[in-house]
């Protein structure tokens, strides 16, 4: 398999706040894959992406793109990689169509190809009827779609999206995922940072879970799910904070996760189900609550990390 990005021993320290945002990260990204970086707020995902884009320098370690050291040859990044930042800023004083057209021209397309590309991308993001409007007059979600279109201009080999579906309504989110998967089918390698685990799960091939600056799990989506599939997800819903507390204590050895004041989640082994159901039935006679038992999703792995578990070993994946 051809390696697109070869990330070796990347450590990034922000001296101003004495924070080590990336700790000895090693990661290979393969041609044609969609890989997602998942992890809680502040885990170090954007820091890693910014180093891959050459926007900030690693404190130590190195990154090769198509075999070239990006610190030596940073032009190589702009020629091959397009980046959708977490706070994308479309040029708001331009009209929709001209912004996409100029972006295509800047990426080296001739006039005719740029016109065709601008028309096609605006159609893809579904903003044809706004194509002559100033970007500043559009909604936040529409501006984000334009940023997606700008990212796609020039048909880059590698696309990096930092939270591409943030602030989008469900219909627009679906559209963005469709655009991303289509680009991948056309051959682009895609790297995504997202909190939208349930949606990402539908499109990604591999997942790197980052927590506290380290990669704590890295695997194919199927393999990762298979490893947690040995457990079931038990959701407990109460109408009362005090009952939630009691249940939390009763199941403390299962390391429950408090989703809200009225909701707890536990992962339990399949062979424990009978015992747990018996315990639940007994407790149910004393306290009023509902429960549901379903197979876990990738989101459970992610939520366990959000709950403060530090390593892949300790979350059993």
Ligand X SMILES: Nc1ncnc2c1ncn2[C@@H]1O[C@H](COP(=O)(O)OP(=O)(O)OP(=O)(O)O)[C@@H](O)[C@H]1O
Which residues form the interface with ligand X (CB under 6 A)? 14, 16-17, 19, 21, 39, 41-47
Which residue is listed with tokens 């180093």? 51
* Other beta carbons less than 10 A from residue 288's beta carbon: 10
**Rounded to the nearest whole angstrom, what is the least distance from the CB of residue 116 to ligand X in the complex?**
35
* Residue (166 or 297) nearer to ligand X, CB: 166
What lies within 8 Å, CB to CB, of 273 at 6+ separation is 232, 293
* Other beta carbons less than 10 A from residue 285's beta carbon: 7
* Residue (234 or 315) nearer to ligand X, CB: 315
**Rounded to the nearest whole angstrom, what is the least distance from the CB of residue 256 to ligand X in the complex?**
24
**Rounded to the nearest whole angstrom, what is the least distance from the CB of residue 224 to ligand X in the complex?**
19
Partners of 207 in beta bridges: 36, 219
* Residue (46 or 147) nearer to ligand X, CB: 46
**Rounded to the nearest whole angstrom, what is the least distance from the CB of residue 121 to ligand X in the complex?**
26
Give the CA distances from residue 155 to residues 68, 103, 116, 195, 227, in Å, rounded to whole numbers and listed in that order.
Answer: 20, 11, 12, 26, 36
* Residue (206 or 231) nearer to ligand X, CB: 206
**Rounded to the nearest whole angstrom, what is the least distance from the CB of residue 245 to ligand X in the complex?**
29
Surface-to-core class of residue 37, CB atoms within 10 Å of its CB (0-12 exposed, 13-18 middle, 19+ buried):
buried
* Residue (41 or 292) nearer to ligand X, CB: 41
Give the CA distances from residue 48 to residues 11, 51, 75, 160, 307, in Å, rounded to whole numbers and listed in that order.
Answer: 9, 5, 18, 11, 22
């Amino acid at each position: 398999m051809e390696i697109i990005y070869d990330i070796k021993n990347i450590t990034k320290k922000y001296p101003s706040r004495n924070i080590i945002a990336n700790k000895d990260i090693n990661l290979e990204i393969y041609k044609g894959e969609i890989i997602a970086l998942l992890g809680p707020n502040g885990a170090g995902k954007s820091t890693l992406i910014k180093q891959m884009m050459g926007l900030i320098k690693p404190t130590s370690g190195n990154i090769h793109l198509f075999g070239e050291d990006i610190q030596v040859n940073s032009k190589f990044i702009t020629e091959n990689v397009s980046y959708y930042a977490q706070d994308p800023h479309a040029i708001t004083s331009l009209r929709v169509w001209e912004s996409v057209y100029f972006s295509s021209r800047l990426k080296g397309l001739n006039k005719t190809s740029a016109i065709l590309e601008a028309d096609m991308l605006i159609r893809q993001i579904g903003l044809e009827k706004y194509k002559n409007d100033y970007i500043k007059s559009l909604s936040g979600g529409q501006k984000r779609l334009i940023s997606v279109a700008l990212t796609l201009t020039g048909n880059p080999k590698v696309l990096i999206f930092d939270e591409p579906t943030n602030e989008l309504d469900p219909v627009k989110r679906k559209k963005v995922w469709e655009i991303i998967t289509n680009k991948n089918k056309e051959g682009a390698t895609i790297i995504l940072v997202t909190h939208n685990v349930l949606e990402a799960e539908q499109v990604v091939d591999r997942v790197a879970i980052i927590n506290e600056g380290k990669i704590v799990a890295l695997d194919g989506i199927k393999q990762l799910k298979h490893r947690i599939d040995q457990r079931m997800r038990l959701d407990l819903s109460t109408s009362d904070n005090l009952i939630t507390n009691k249940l939390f204590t009763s199941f403390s050895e299962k390391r429950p996760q408090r989703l809200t004041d009225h909701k707890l989640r536990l992962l339990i082994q399949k062979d424990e189900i009978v015992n747990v159901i018996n315990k639940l039935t007994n407790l149910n006679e004393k306290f009023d609550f509902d429960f549901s038992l379903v197979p876990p999703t990738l989101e459970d792995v992610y939520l366990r990390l959000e709950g403060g578990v530090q390593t892949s070993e300790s979350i059993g994946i």
